[in-house]
Amino acid sequence: MEDFESKVREALADPKNQGEMADADAVGTVGSPDCGDMLRIWLKFTEKDGKRVIDRASFQSFGCQTAMAVASMATELLRGRTVEEAAGLDATELAGDLGALPPMKIHCGQLVEGALRDALGGAGDAPRAAASPVSAAPTLSQDLAAKAVGPVRVVPLD
Ligand code: FES
């Protein structure tokens, strides 16, 4: 457990691929019913050896540190994967070098898995991923601002 926490701290000291991707081909967003955290993933595809693969992935999170660390790992290891390969990765695989998630943190990894699946448009559904209207998607901050007027107010912590 301590080892896991030090790996999370290490990942957060230099988080990879954080921020919106202006030229993304697909975007996926999820909110966790367990804790109210939100995470969004952007994907950019390219052609490699006749296959459509993920060129770049980025994320934005109003979530816990574990979700951010997993998203940082996941966006690195998604590079070069086809939609089918990416859709086949579960939360533990997406956590990469962080290793197995402690039971209390499994939903944090699932937040990343869910955002990825949303971006991929469902498991292995390549055409939808290609057609995701990124330009129509509001930013995560806009989503949060919109939520602020509803009955549930999301207050991101520093
Ligand atoms: Fe909510 Fe980790 S506690 S995603």
Q: For the segment 22-40, what is each residue's pLDDT rounded down to a tens digit?
A: 999 999 999 988 899 999 9
Identify whether 135 is part of a domain.
no
Q: Is 110 in the pocket of ligand 1 (CB under 6 A)?
A: no
CA of 86 to the centre of ligand 1 (A): 22
| Residues identified as active-site | 35, 108
Tokens representing 149 are 């007027």
> Among 47, 60, 63, 52, which residue's Cα sits nearest to residue 17?
60
Strand pairing partners for 51? 48
pLDDT of residue 108: 94
Report pLDDT digits (tens) over 77-134.
999 999 999 999 999 999 999 999 999 999 999 999 999 999 998 434 444 444 444 5
Identify whether 152 is part of a domain.
no
Taking the C-alpha atoms of residue 106 and residue 100, their distance in angstroms, rounded to an integer, is 9
Identify whether 137 is part of a domain.
no
- Three-class SS of residue 97? helix
Identify whether 155 is part of a domain.
no
Q: How many domains are contained in the chain?
A: 1
Tell me the pTM: 0.80
Identify whether 153 is part of a domain.
no
Identify whether 139 is part of a domain.
no
- When pLDDT is averaged across residues 134-156 and rounded to a whole number, the result is 56
Report pLDDT digits (tens) over 37-84.
999 999 999 999 999 999 999 999 988 999 999 999 999 999 999 999
Tell me which residue range forms the domain holding 40: 2-127
Taking the C-alpha atoms of residue 141 and residue 25, their distance in angstroms, rounded to an integer, is 20
Q: Is 66 in the pocket of ligand 1 (CB under 6 A)?
A: yes
Alpha helices in 1-158 (DSSP H): 2-13, 65-77, 83-87, 91-94, 106-120, 126-131, 140-148
pLDDT of residue 147: 55
Identify whether 144 is part of a domain.
no
> Among 66, 56, 65, which residue's Cα sits nearest to residue 23?
56
pLDDT of residue 27: 96
- Domain containing residue 16: CATH number: 3.90.1010.10
Identify whether 140 is part of a domain.
no
Q: Whose CA is nearest to atom 4 of ligand 1?
A: 108
